[in-house]
Amino acid sequence: MTALELTADPVELTAALVDVPSVSGEEKPLADAVEAALRTQAPHLEVRRSGNAVLARTLLGRPSRVVFAGHLDTVPINENLPCRRTGQGADQVLHGCGTVDMKGGDAVLLHLAASLPTPRHDLTFVFYDCEEVEAARNGLGRIERELPDWLAGDLAVVAEPSNGVIEAGCQGTMRVELRAAGERAHTARAWMGTNAIHALAEPLRRLAEYTPRSVEIDGCTYHEGLQAVRIDGGVAGNVVPDDAVLTVNHRFAPDRGIERAEAHLREVFAGFPLTVVDAAAGALPGLAAPAAGELVTAAGGQPVAKLGWTDVARFARLGLPAVNFGPGDPSLAHTKAEHVPTEQIRTVAGTLRAFLAG
């Protein structure tokens, strides 16, 4: 088993975490190492195992609790292990699968868990599995069902890559299908049929002319989006198709719930049968919460809206204001070229230390 030094430089801890492969569903070796390190190096924490997730918390009787969450899994390796380094000193960069999404963030949280025995807030740390795959397998869902008290608190911080800037809340997401019906005919006698693919021209026109709104909430601007992402249809090279399906993805600001988002799409595509395939509500910024305000002060600068969906939405549904805050450029996540500046890892660790030390 890999031995992790939790109180070491979080940069070195990041490199050690990256070198333990943990593709979704294969997190056990890393979860074993994390559990062993927390049990031996952080005796001030209560530690609990849930499948391939590891949880730890303080029980100091503080009036407030902050929940920190980071997923242990990565997307499949793409010729980008083991971890390698470029540059020197403050310009050093770590390269490798998970450096951005999100073992740099995990390293920061593990370092703080072991090195802050008496923080000003009680703390819960959740290192969970299967975030990068379908939602039904996400370890947070299992923890919510089996250990709900471990997700209770006054603020949640998800250490997803955010370039070291607080990204507040997140967008909601919805995927819908629009179906057009026609009538088959031989293409040599096309007038005898009705082309279902051609019937999608009208919803595609509406999409092309659609102007998405921008919404400001707590000083953060959420940009919505509506995009065609797939078209299915066709029978054969000489047959007028009698069925076609257009798939559309909608990213909506967190001031709209799922029902309002669906109602909006039914208005946009009035006249076409619409089926919701999947949907997840967003999360409001929640920056007015006292603990969130303290974190914003410690981080400095202006928080920005999270453009995308993250597990902050799960915490928001449980009643916790939630933010994303971690090292790494999110645009590099899931790419072969994942890399993170080492100074950004140290800066995020320092910001959270200042926030927790008070």
Measure the CA–CA gap between 99 and 272, rounded to whole angstroms: 44
**Residue whose tokens read 């975030």:** 131
Neighbours of 129 (CB within 10 A): 28
Catalytic residue list contains 131: yes
Give 44-66 as a DSSP string.
TSEEEEETTEEEEE--S--S-EE
Q: Whole-angstrom Cα distance, residue 258 to residue 287?
A: 22
Could you say which of 27, 35, 73, 262 is catalytic? 73
Per the listing, tokens 């250990």 go with 147
Number of residues that this document lists for the chain: 358
3-state helix, strand, coil in the chain (%, to 5): 35, 25, 40
Please tell me the distance from the alpha carbon of residue 168 to that of residue 162, in angstroms, as a whole number: 10
User: Three-state DSSP class for 32?
Assistant: helix
> What does each C-alpha distance from 331 to 133, 228, 245, 337 come to in angstroms?
18, 21, 30, 10
Per the residue annotation, which of 27, 35, 131, 132 is the catalytic one?
Answer: 131
Amino acid at 182: G
Report in angstroms the alpha-carbon separations of 220 from 170, 216, 254, 297, 351: 10, 5, 11, 16, 21
Collapsing DSSP to helix, strand or coil, 198 comes out as helix
Catalytic center residues: 73, 131
